[in-house]
Amino acid sequence: MSDELIQSIQKSLKEIPDPETGRGLSKQIKSVEVQDHTIKADVGITSFALPIKAYFQQQVIDHLTTAFPDKRILVEISDYHRAAMPLGQVGLKAKAVIAVAAGKGGVGKSTAAVSLALGLKKAGCSVGLLDADVYGPSLPHLTGTRGQVTKVDNKIVPLQSAGIPIMSIGFMVPPGEAVIWRGPMLHSAVTTFVRDTDWGALDYLIIDMPPGTGDIALSLSQLLPLTGAVIVCTPQEVALIDAIKAVGMFRKVKIPVLGLIENMSSFICPDNGKSYDIFGKGGAKEYAAQDKIPFLGEIPINIQLRKRGDAGKMAENFDDAEVAPHLEKIAFELTKCLAEKVAKEPTQTQLPVL
């Protein structure tokens, strides 16, 4: 009887998609026990899915509760390792490559890209940050990373900030030097960033894209499969028009738009605690709902956030009770969206590299 029950619990668990691959859980089911009226299950997830660990745990509990309503359900989520496989021709090892883009400059795209990378890293994922904004590289400034990259065994060694490898054109040309980029040069710079850089094995590579233009997006998508783009915008109507253009541009080059982030959403006055919607409110969320684009969250206007950006200490935002929940939510929502996407279209079983 108990054996039968255990088998049917395992069968039920196998119906749950793994948040990284979308395939039913199998080897990740580490143990199933039944004691009197209690079912205890231990399920492993990869570091890729750690931002949604608690959410996934609840999903497993709900699934087992529906299947075994007369039992008490205890679920533990533990670590499971699955190696990242080389992507495309360039061989970059990353499980997801996310382009963070905006219709125009100054909306906080780089701030959002760094925050997303830090949020994922804080949850336990392995993350890389690539500054593809060759016209105005701001990642060296925002992450407080200075210096020139070096080469080891013919591969560029990225600089590091808060445990995140970072690569930027700012580490390759002297600061303040103007570079005029033409098409082929852009392509070769992007190739250097992804092919010739030693990123290690990543769960997420977050790419800070240049505003507006589609050139880099095209170059990147020729080199490796981009998982998708996240569009950053501010609440004003004019900013939304640019964001809609950016969405159109990505769709045109067949890069999925994964979600929208609204930056500078509201301002909580430190003097009186009142919230002011300086640039308006709700437009981006409404547009996202209309166009069926997931809304990943909003970042308020915050003086400390700007100061920490200027000081290259953005990791400190995660210790700030006013800002941290907004940034953590964005990492959570992105991973949740990706998990929902693969649940609909599971990735192929990875073949062993010979």
Contacts with ligand ADP by CB under 6 A lie at 102, 105-111, 138, 263-264, 299, 301-302, 305-306, 309
Tokens 């949020």 locate to: 119
Nearest approach, Cβ of 305 to ligand ADP (angstroms)? 4
Smallest distance, Å, CB 116 to ligand ADP?
12
Question: 312: which 2 tokens?
Answer: 């290259």
Contact 117, 127 (CB under 8 A): yes
Residues 229, 235, 236, 237, CA torsion sign:
positive
Query: Least distance to ligand ADP from the beta carbon of 309, Å?
Result: 3
Residue nearer to ligand ADP on the CB measure, 11 or 306? 306
Q: Which is nearer to ligand ADP, 200 or 325 (CB)?
A: 325
Residue 251, phi then psi, degrees to nearest 5: -65, -35
Question: Nearest 5°: CA angle at 113, between 129 and 146?
Answer: 50
Nearest to ligand ADP of 47, 110 (CB atom): 110
* Token pair 């899915």 in the structure block, residue: 49
Question: Which residue's CB is nearer to ligand ADP, number 28 or number 110?
Answer: 110
Identity of residue 322: E
Separation of CA 86 from chain center? 18
The helices-and-strands tally (H runs, E runs) of the chain is 10, 15
Whole-angstrom distance, CA of residue 108 vs CA of residue 102: 9
Q: Which is nearer to ligand ADP, 12 or 110 (CB)?
A: 110
Minimum distance of ligand ADP from residue 261's CB (angstroms): 10
Question: How far apart are the C-alpha atoms of 245 and 282, rounded to whole Å?
Answer: 18
Angle in degrees, CA 22, 204, 234, rounded to 5? 105
Q: How far is the CB of 111 from ligand ADP (least distance, A)?
A: 3
At residue 127, the 3 state secondary structure works out as strand
Find the distance separating the first CA and the last CA of the chain, reported in whole Å.
44
Cβ distance to ligand ADP smaller for residue 54 or 278: 278
Nearer to ligand ADP, 106 or 225 (CB): 106
- Least Cβ distance, residue 351 to ligand ADP (angstroms): 39
Q: Least distance in Å: CB of 341 to ligand ADP?
A: 26
